[in-house]
Amino acid sequence: MIETEFLSVGSGPAGVSAAWPLVQAGRDVLMIDAADTVLPAPPREDGPRRHARLGADFETLRAPADWTPMLTTPRALAVLNGAARGNPPRLDGYTVAQSRVSGGLSNLWGANCSAFDAADMAGWPLSPDDLLPAYRSVAERIGISGARDDLDPFHGEGLALHAPTPLTPTIAALYDRYRRGPAPVGLTMGRGRIAVLTEDQADRQGCNGCGLCVLGCARRSIYSSADELAALRRFTNFRFWEGTRIRRFVSTDASGPVIAFEGPNGAGQVRSDRLLLAAGTIASTALVAEHAGLLGARLPILGNPRTVMAFVLPAAIGSAFPDPSFGLAQLSLRIGVPGQADYASGAVYGADTQALDLFARRMPLTRPAAMRLSAALAPALLLVNFFLPGSFSRNSMRLEQGPEGPQTCLDGTVPEATSAAMHGTALAIRRAMRSMGAYYVPGSTLLSAPGADVHPAGTMPMGGSGRLAVTSMCELTNMPGVHAIDGAWLPSLPAKHLTFTIMANALRVGRLLAGR
């Protein structure tokens, strides 16, 4: 039996954020991660880009047609494909994104960072004041770029910010139209608030506008929790086991939770005083549900229904590709959901950094003609995505006994009310964009499948009831010493990216546990 004070399961943003205050306080921390996949090296700015964009075996061309460009790069496919091994989940109308690489999905996220406000946290056992110190610490540690603009109160005021990333000419023209006004009714727009350095920090370099963001950042300007593992491993009281999977909980009695694991050097058991579950909402919930005897029970999963659209700025058609460029969100937006009290939030991206094939294969032209037209349109194209609140999602998970043990089953549906809200919000954005000189590309609206937003949450809600509820410390009420610190604890899900809040709460929990 291996003993440790704190056992952290998962090396994603939540696990790393909770580990820092514990390690710095001198506490003994063992981090376990199933990571056993090596990612392809990020492309060099001066190197060949065909393999970087299409893959050595052109695997990106075989990606599902309804996936967004960020999920169809060789790097993204390497992150996601590892989860298909072993006992993969059974899917019915739901798209799941899981990984077996160090740092988890932070290796391919959009890096959007927005703090939750009082309205977002209505009814929670926590308030924004409980998270504010942690929000500030996380912002300083990971580096967030942005601006004090119309969306500053929405994203979170008083946070340390790097200068915003540069705007490409097409997006700069759109933003200039917004600022000159009058502002479109119901729409607020500002610079993207993203975890990207624009100046050097520690051993990471500031963004230089190479435009290779979605293919992997060789400068490590885009935050990934994997980049923090080297610094954590310099502490003698921190251990990291890669390629190690938790098989099940053995016990969760007063002596501390015990888990069974399997790794490169065999199988065994670990007892800890406190166990921090940060393996991702679905994986963490499956472990707890199995131990709690909840096979067959249907557990709701929150998500943010997502829609993607394309727009063209006519004056930019045929212009040269911008240099410098940037592949993540350049602008953010907030807009009311028509007929609802809720809001949607989204981002504006440039299409110049995306693979031309993604556009060409959807055109009713010959391949050469479609590629030429794509090259002419790409500098003028804008991609807009937006998310609805989690109250519009209707997804669930359950465990069923399978030939290799309990199997996770994920179900997703899009109710009529959700579809109507997505179409209504899309129409409102189309009107707003047209008033700023950007025209909708007919047929480009994509309503993503449930789960494709990669925001699963709420399966073990804070302040909830039942066997999977957690306290304000994220401790499971029926499993003392086990803390669910990934997205599973969120009681509700506003129309904002959740990772920044998950990191802040994990840091808060880590600080409180370090002081005990």
Tell me if the bond preceding 324 is cis, omega within 30° of 0: yes
* Counted domains in the chain: 1
Average pLDDT of the chain is 90
DSSP letter string, 256-288: --EEEEEETTEEEEEEEEEEEE-S-HHHHHHHH
pLDDT tens sequence across 239-271: 999 999 999 999 988 889 999 999 887 899 999
pLDDT tens sequence across 143-195: 999 999 999 999 999 999 999 998 999 999 999 999 998 989 899 999 999 99
Spatial distance between the Cα atoms of 489 and 475, rounded to a whole number of angstroms: 9
In this predicted model, which residue has the larger pLDDT, 62 or 437? 437
pLDDT band at 372 (very low <50, low <70, confident <90, very high): confident
Whether pLDDT at 50 is above 60: no
**H-helix or E-strand containing 346?**
strand 343-350
Query: Does residue 374 fall inside a structural domain?
Result: no
Q: In this predicted structure, what is the pLDDT of residue 377? A: 80
Query: Does residue 287 fall inside a structural domain?
Result: yes
Q: In this predicted structure, what is the pLDDT of residue 32? A: 96
Can you give the CATH number for the domain in which 268 is found? 3.50.50.60
Give me Rg for the CA atoms of the chain. Answer: 22
Query: Does residue 187 fall inside a structural domain?
Result: no
Return the amino acid letter for 346. Answer: G
Q: In this predicted structure, what is the pLDDT of residue 442? A: 85
DSSP letter string, 103-125: TGGGGS---B-----TTTTTT-S
Spatial distance between the Cα atoms of 406 and 295, rounded to a whole number of angstroms: 8
Query: Does residue 465 fall inside a structural domain?
Result: yes
Query: Does residue 135 fall inside a structural domain?
Result: yes
Query: Does residue 50 fall inside a structural domain?
Result: yes
Spatial contact of 50 and 43, defined as CB atoms under 8 Å apart? no
| Domain extent for 505 | 1-86+100-141+225-297+455-516
Query: Does residue 49 fall inside a structural domain?
Result: yes
Q: Which of 10-19, 240-249, 291-300, 349-358 has the lowest mean pLDDT?
A: 349-358
Where is mean pLDDT largest: 115-124, 241-250, 316-325, 439-448?
115-124
- CB count within 10 Å of CB 331 equals 24
Whether pLDDT at 488 is above 50: yes
Spatial distance between the Cα atoms of 69 and 215, rounded to a whole number of angstroms: 10
Query: Does residue 123 fall inside a structural domain?
Result: yes
Which residue shows structure tokens 């940060």? 278
